[in-house]
Amino acid sequence: MEEKTDIITRIQEKYGSMSRGQKTIAAYLLEHDDQAAFMTAAKLGRTLSVSESTVVRFAVMLGYKGYPQMQEALAGRVRKRLNTVESMDARYAGMAQSEILTNVLAGDIEKIRYTAEHLDPAAFEMAVNLILGAENVYVLGVRSCRPLAEFLSFYLGMIRGNVVLIGTTSATEIFEQMLRIGERDCFIGISFPRYSMRTLKAMEFANDRNARVIAVTDSVHSPMNLYSSCNLFARSDMVSIVDSLVAPLSLINALVIALCLKQPERVKRSLKALEEAWNSYQVYLNDEINFINEETMFEKPFAKE
């Protein structure tokens, strides 16, 4: 659990009441703390086109005595990541390749077990119902979370229509794709440390438009919870310089299966139509397709509601 004085926690607590300029600073600090840690208040202000005094007031607003103290907090986050690399060297030093494999897999298994034991069943069921009941579903994940968003949106597209995987080339592009989001829609934001401010801003926009917002993140301390009405937590501790996203992927996989079992006939129709399209347009040769046995999955007693 992060300490109360952690800068991420402070930003999370204050973000909703921040001015536009303060939110600009917060966004930069969350995604570029390694650069900001070595900037003076004046340089940070020039980089973000805000005044030096705005930067100093931002630090005080977060509860620091001044900018130097906030800068030290940023430097601490950078050192923590560097220490992670050093601890990785110490942890795996002298291990054979097979031992590294076993050690990493065991760690991932523990993260999945922890996620299963601590996931809120009510929140999971709520997420399933929100996704099925929405007119449109928007999915966003950036950087290392982008593959998770792609995986989820791909299977949502088989389960239901009107699924939008939001592109992340630029911040403006994100909002262009969300321009028509409204109260009948659902937004799914996926973000794990280091948290994405682009995802948080998109969630804020969706919330302001009265869309139902689902956060897929790591803990109650995540800033992604600020604008979500449903939170799904999966453990994602950093094992090395690479974030472990095995538990989040398992959570998303469970979400997809639960959605399928809620709408078995709709999914069967979608798969049948897709299979016919493949055959009609020779997308794949028949002997290269591993056809899905829908009957095995969808004719279990608990699937019928």
How crowded is residue 272: how many other Cβ atoms within 10 Å of its Cβ? Answer: 12
pLDDT at 13: 78
Looking up tokens 């829908």 gives: 294
Q: List the structure tokens of 170.
A: 């630029």
- Average per-residue pLDDT in the chain? 80
Question: How far, in Å, are 156, 244, 286 from residue 248 at the CA level?
Answer: 16, 9, 33
pLDDT at 64: 92
d(CA 56, CA 183): 38
d(CA 242, CA 12): 24
Higher pLDDT, 233 or 78: 233
Percent of the residues in the chain that have a pLDDT greater than 70, as a whole number: 80
Q: What is the pLDDT of residues 260-272, one digit of tens each?
A: 888 777 777 777 7
Is residue 140 a contact partner of residue 205, using CB atoms and an 8 Å limit? no
Res. 150 pLDDT band, cuts 50 70 90: very high
Tell how strand 212-217 and strand 137-141 pair up: unpaired
> Which of 20-34, 190-204, 261-275 is least confident?
261-275
d(CA 292, CA 100): 35
Res. 283 pLDDT band, cuts 50 70 90: low
Is residue 259 a contact partner of residue 51, using CB atoms and an 8 Å limit? no
d(CA 142, CA 296): 35
> Which of 39-48, 53-62, 72-81, 146-155 is least confident?
72-81
Average pLDDT over residues 248-263: 89
d(CA 271, CA 208): 35
d(CA 11, CA 226): 11
3-state secondary structure the chain: CCCCCCHHHHHHHHHHHCCHHHHHHHHHHHHCHHHHCCCCHHHHHHHHCCCHHHHHHHHHHCCCCCHHHHHHHHHHHHHHHHHHHHHHHHHHCCCCHHHHHHHHHHHHHHHHHHHHHHCCHHHHHHHHHHHHHCCCEEEEECHHHHHHHHHHHHHHHHHCCCEEECCCCCHHHHHHHCCCCCCCCEEEEECCCCCCHHHHHHHHHHHHCCCEEEEEECCCCCHHHHHCCEEEECCCCECCCCECCHHHHHHHHHHHHHHHHHCHHHHHHHHHHHHHHHHHCCCCCHHHCCCCCHHHHHCCHHHCC
Rg for the chain, CA atoms, rounded: 22
What's the farthest any 2 CA atoms get from each other in the chain? 68
Looking up tokens 């110490």 gives: 90
Q: How many residues does the structure list for the chain?
A: 305
pLDDT value at 222 more than 90: no
Q: What is the pLDDT of residues 127-144, one digit of tens each?
A: 999 999 899 999 999 888
Cα angle for residues 172, 177, 179 (degrees, 5° grid): 90
